[in-house]
Amino acid sequence: MEPSDRELLRRVGEGDRDALAPLMERHYRRLYRIVLSYVRDADEALDGVQETFVKAYCHAARWDGSADVGAWLTRIAVNESIDRYRRGRRRRASFEPLTGDAAGAAADTPEAGLSRREAREQLEDALGTLPAPQRAVFVLRHREEMTLDAIGKALRLPLGTVKSHLHRAMRRLRAQLGGDR
């Protein structure tokens, strides 16, 4: 039987470097999607996830054991993402869409594909204008499909605050994107 995340993180905190690899394998993709949704650059997202795991390794001994490991790693990734997004926003001159996903689009017309890509770019631009807490809650809820309780635990926010951030984010996005979409 494989060790739990808690056991692996406890071992990492005790200096066992080999325990970090299974944690990375279990959480890497999810954390990558989170970081990518902030920084919108694949290479920058890879660096952000790597830095997330470096920070997790360095601070594993301070993990108190009461927090869920996934939520703890998510919080580190969100903080790293926010920092990277702020640094990148200052120097970014162009915008790259988050996904170039053409799955299922082969049967569509070129106009439909273009329309979807433009809508995705508009959403990404609008997300970039949200305050960091609202963006974090929106991304975790709608891209990672986390429950509101899980988001609250990951971000260390009360449930009411999570709901408030989500509501405000949705309201701002609707206003920026031209009504109810």
Predicted TM-score (pTM) of this structure? 0.64
Spatial separation of the C-alpha atoms in residues 17 and 112, rounded to whole Å: 49
Spatial separation of the C-alpha atoms in residues 25 and 156, rounded to whole Å: 24
> What's the number of domains the chain is made of?
2
Looking at per-residue confidence, does 161 or 125 come out higher?
161
- Closest by alpha carbon to 135, among 2, 37, 7, 9? 37
Q: Coil, strand, or helix at residue 97?
A: coil
Domain that holds residue 139: 109-181
Looking at per-residue confidence, does 64 or 103 come out higher?
64
- Predicted pLDDT of residue 87: 75
Q: Which two tokens stand for residue 131?
A: 């305050």
What DSSP state is assigned to residue 29?
H
Would residue 102 count as lying in a domain?
A: no
- Summarize pLDDT for 11-47 with one digit per residue, the tens: 999 989 899 999 999 999 999 999 988 888 888 899 9
Report residue 53's pLDDT band, with 50, 70 and 90 as the boundaries: very high
Average confidence score pLDDT of the chain? 83
- Closest by alpha carbon to 129, among 96, 98, 175? 175
- Predicted pLDDT of residue 102: 43
Report the amino acid identity of residue 104.
G
- Predicted pLDDT of residue 156: 87
Report the amino acid identity of residue 139.
V
User: Do 67 and 129 share a domain, yes or no?
Assistant: no
CATH number of the domain to which 71 belongs? 1.10.1740.10
Report residue 179's pLDDT band, with 50, 70 and 90 as the boundaries: low
CATH number of the domain to which 161 belongs? 1.10.10.10
User: Do 29 and 85 share a domain, yes or no?
Assistant: yes
